[in-house]
Structure 1
Amino acid sequence: MSVRLERLTAVDPQLFRRLADLFGAARLAAMPELPVQHTPAENAEYLQGCLPDSEIWLARDAQDALLGFIVFDADWIDHLYLAPSAWRQGIGTQLVLRALADGRARQLWCFQENRSACAFYESLGFVAVESTAGEANEEKRPDVRYRHPGLH
């Protein structure tokens, strides 16, 4: 599949609503038991608020369909979500490598029960450095903090 990565630089409320819809669909497919914490409109507003301080990169196919996105800053990968139809096609890897392209170390949180996501991050060189019972996340689910040493 031909995939194009593009950096999001302008606020487009319709696009942020599409990102929020993709976020919801990906979470539901990966972890259907996960409680829904926010409406799609709230998620769109939250993601839009990430733009000034974080980079947001989109993955699109040849027909310009949105396949996924990543949100990261100098230290953290805050979000990585792919349309379920785009899973296991290398798109998540491309997005993570985009976040790591500057060579800096990055961290992220992942739910422990999302075993496929944990295995994915580990396959890219992320190392588990902390586990919690979930007391600090909204969903109150056990999570794990991963750290990548950066690309050298």
Structure 2
Amino acid sequence: MTVTLRPARSLDAGAVGEILHGFARENDWMPELHSGAEAIAFCGRMIDNGWVTVAEQGGKVTGFLAVDGTEVHCLYLSPAARNQGIGTQLLDSAKAGRRELVLYAFQANTSACRFYERHGFVEVARSDGADNDEQLPDIRFVWRRKE
């Protein structure tokens, strides 16, 4: 099925929020700090800020990426959309026109860490999680365009 990437619209907040909230529900190591409604409201704010690109298949939002400047805040896919190259398409869209991207990934999210490393991100720091809402150890990754 064809994937279309496009800027998120306000009406996408529900689908984007459900993908984000679903991630917390499907991973035992991830604390569920917010309700589904709070996740939707948070995603609505990111959309209003112009940070969000969605991946759409068959008219349905199946993933999203939120980038503010050079900082990747979120990259999540619905379970059915994983392992199809959609995350790569979203990440490549963020890399286009930028010289650098930075992001944090939870150490427990080993599949995400491997994904970012495969796409040229390099680990530059680790933390004990004291500075994130979830209080989970994380890794700071940086990608820089090769000149």
> Which whole-Å CA distance do the structure 1 matches of 2:102 and 2:50 have between them?
14
- Structure 1 runs of 4+ aligned residues shifted over 6 Å read none
Question: Which residue of structure 2 aligns with residue 11 of structure 1?
Answer: 10
Secondary structure of residue in 2 paired with 1:58? strand
Question: Which residue of structure 2 aligns with residue 41 of structure 1?
Answer: 37
Contact 1:107 1:145 in 2 (8 A): yes
Aligned length: 147
Match of 2:90 among 92, 95, 98: 95
Shift of 1:52: 4.3
CA RMSD of aligned residues (A): 1.5
> Which whole-Å CA distance do the structure 1 matches of 2:17 and 2:41 have between them?
9
Match of 1:26 among 16, 19, 23: 23
Shift of 1:11: 2.3
Secondary structure of residue in 1 paired with 2:52? strand
Secondary structure of residue in 2 paired with 1:51? helix
> Which whole-Å CA distance do the structure 2 matches of 1:3 and 1:147 have between them?
26
TM-score normalised to the size of structure 2?
Answer: 0.92
Question: Which residue of structure 1 aligns with residue 142 of structure 2?
Answer: 147
Query: Which consecutive residues of structure 2, in runs of 5 or more, have no partner in the other structure?
Result: none
Query: Which consecutive residues of structure 1, in runs of 5 or more, have no partner in the other structure?
Result: none
Shift of 1:26: 2.8
Shift of 1:23: 0.9
Contact 1:129 1:144 in 2 (8 A): yes
Give a deviation string over 1:22-61, Cα, whole Å, max 9, x none.
11223333x2231101111111111211234442111011
Q: Quick check: 1:84 aligned with 2:83?
A: no
TM-score normalised to the size of structure 1?
Answer: 0.90
Contact 2:62 2:77 in 1 (8 A): yes
Match of 1:115 among 105, 110, 121: 110
Shift of 1:142: 0.5
Secondary structure of residue in 2 paired with 1:59? strand
